[in-house]
């Protein structure tokens, strides 16, 4: 334990050195990036065009020329920077064309288009409101727009005419209008025949002029004061979020910005409604699906039970599934597998060797099982396999037959080994026995039994190679006097044609 304490102390000292080293390095970088141009302090996110690359953001590059700070819009067009307010994240600029022509003409020959700088937006006043215990953000655009229009007739609705300036008339129908920036000509109430010459934003405070009687001096002051742009949205530029200010005027990113309380409540109500339906409806849907699944399987089991209870002529013994497990020694010896399920070797308590066919639970709807029991359960013939017993417990179904030690005919007629081949006499005897079995099924019973799946795999051989017709899963019962049998679909095994067709 003793060597562990010095090791921990060493790691702590190294961590403190790295932390304070990185902090001092960051402070040094921030100090190196801070610049002055005239009276303006240039700090993050702003930078000068000759600042190191790690300083500020490239989208907020300014130019300092003869101690005058400029924000270039294009290669030659620019704004003069009047002030930078790092507390409310705004920069106030004025069109250079307005400044240069202020002493020569009332109107500049040209002006830069407003809202044209992609990294900024017009300054908005964000206010955190709370109504009915539901908080949301409201905002107000503080920037106004000075609009100069020429009209074919005098307009006197809340406009400044400024008809005469420096001894020259601008025009009898020339007017200025200060509006919120998103008004139409109808909102301005100046008529559709007026033509807008130019529009220029201004952030000149409203308390500095009479809004009901704007003078030419007010128009001058508004244009020269410039307008404020905000870089607040840059805090969330790399996300799909909207920036908001908290009580302490600190920016943070929100997933969505909803300015209308009614819309907020509507969206909230829709979300709650959908969520409630999902939470309450899902258990009922699951219960309904389970009910339908159980009903489908129970109806299948009931059909089998009803048939077995109604048919008293069935001679085979009914076993429980527990008996089947004991007979097969828990399904120890597997003889084969087919599309119906698997066959296991078993032994009855009397010592009789049997073959137990366990039907696949996922195959069929119980009809194959009924077919087997209904056909071979009531007949006895030397060339038909004998059904000794069966098992029905819910979805578990099994059939018990006499064990055929020589297996199926398939392994003899398709074998390439000489010792597995049969002589012509035995093959003839097998063919004759199969014919006797089929003839008995057709004409020897009260009902005509059509097998529909005669093939070598379904012909079993006892110890003396006597053939036994087996697997009556596709069999059908018809009256003896019926000479025409209708089929609604293909039956049997692909590649084999039933002899009775």
Q: Which residues are annotated as part of the binding site?
A: 357
| Number of CB atoms found within 10 A of residue 327's CB | 22
E strand or H helix that includes residue 239? none
Residue 241 contacts by C-beta under 8 Å, 6 or more apart in sequence?
253, 254, 255
Q: Which of 358, 379, 366 is nearest to 306 (CA)?
A: 366
Report the relative pairing of strands 47-48 and 61-65 from DSSP bridges: parallel
Annotated binding-site residues for ATP read: 357
| Residue 453 a catalytic site member | yes
State how far the Cα of 2 lies from the Cα of 173, in Å rounded to an integer: 95
Q: Is the Cβ–Cβ distance between 438 and 423 less than 8 Å?
A: no
Sign of CA dihedral 218, 219, 220, 226: positive
Instruction: Give DSSP secondary structure letters for 88-102.
Output: TTEEEEEEHHHHHTT
State how far the Cα of 150 lies from the Cα of 219, in Å rounded to an integer: 16
Report the relative pairing of strands 40-42 and 35-37 from DSSP bridges: antiparallel
3-state secondary structure of 454: coil
Residue 361 contacts by C-beta under 8 Å, 6 or more apart in sequence?
395, 396, 397
> Pick the catalytic residue: 218, 323, 368, 453?
453
Burial 112-143 (b: 16+ CB within 10 A, else e): bebeebebbbbbbebeeeeeeeeebeeeeebb
Active site residues: 453
């Amino acid at each position: 334990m003793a060597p562990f304490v010095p090791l921990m102390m060493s790691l702590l000292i190294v961590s403190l050195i790295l932390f304070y080293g990185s902090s001092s390095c960051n402070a040094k970088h921030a100090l190196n990036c801070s610049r002055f141009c005239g009276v303006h302090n240039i700090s993050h996110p702003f930078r000068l065009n000759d600042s190191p690359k790690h300083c500020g953001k490239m989208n907020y590059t300014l130019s300092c020329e003869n101690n005058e700070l400029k924000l270039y819009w294009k290669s030659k067009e620019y704004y003069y920077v009047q002030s930078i307010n790092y507390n409310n994240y705004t920069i106030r600029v004025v069109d250079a064309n307005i400044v240069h022509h202020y002493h020569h003409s009332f109107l500049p020959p040209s002006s830069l288009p407003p809202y044209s700088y992609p990294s900024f937006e017009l300054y908005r006043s964000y206010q955190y409101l709370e109504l009915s215990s539901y908080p949301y953000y409201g905002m107000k655009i503080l920037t106004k727009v000075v609009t100069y229009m020429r009209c074919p007739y005098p307009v006197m609705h809340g406009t400044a005419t400024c008809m005469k300036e420096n001894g020259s008339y601008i025009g009898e129908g020339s007017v200025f209008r200060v509006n919120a920036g998103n008004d139409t000509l109808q909102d301005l109430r100046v008529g559709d025949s007026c033509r807008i010459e130019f529009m220029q934003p201004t952030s000149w405070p409203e308390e500095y002029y009479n809004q009901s009687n704007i003078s030419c001096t007010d128009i001058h002051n508004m244009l020269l004061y410039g307008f404020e742009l905000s870089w607040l949205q840059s805090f969330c530029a790399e996300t799909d979020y909207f920036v908001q200010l908290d009580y302490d005027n600190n920016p943070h990113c929100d997933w969505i910005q909803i300015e209308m309380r009614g819309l907020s409540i509507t969206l909230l109500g829709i979300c709650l409604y959908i969520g409630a339906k999902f939470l309450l409806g899902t258990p009922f849907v699951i219960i309904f699906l389970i009910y339908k699944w159980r009903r489908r399987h129970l109806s299948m089991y009931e059909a089998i039970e009803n048939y077995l209870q109604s048919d008293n002529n069935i001679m085979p013994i009914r076993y429980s599934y527990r008996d089947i497990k004991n007979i097969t020694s828990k399904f120890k010896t597997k003889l084969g597998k087919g599309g119906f399920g698997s066959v296991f070797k078993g032994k009855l308590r009397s010592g009789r060797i049997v073959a137990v066919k366990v039907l696949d639970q996922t195959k069929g709807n119980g009809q194959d099982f009924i077919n087997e029991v209904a056909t071979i359960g009531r007949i006895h013939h030397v060339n038909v396999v004998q059904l000794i017993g069966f098992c029905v417990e819910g979805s578990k179904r099994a059939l018990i037959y006499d064990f055929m030690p020589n297996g199926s005919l398939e392994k003899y007629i398709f074998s390439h080994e000489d010792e597995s081949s049969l002589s012509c006499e035995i093959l003839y005897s097998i063919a004759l026995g199969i014919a006797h079995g089929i003839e008995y099924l057709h004409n020897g019973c009260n009902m005509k039994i059509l097998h529909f799946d005669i093939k070598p795999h379904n012909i079993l051989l006892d110890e003396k190679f006597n053939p036994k017709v087996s697997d009556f899963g596709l069999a059908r019962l018809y009256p003896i006097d019926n000479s025409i049998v209708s089929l609604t679909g293909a039956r049997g095994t692909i590649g084999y044609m039933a002899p009775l067709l």
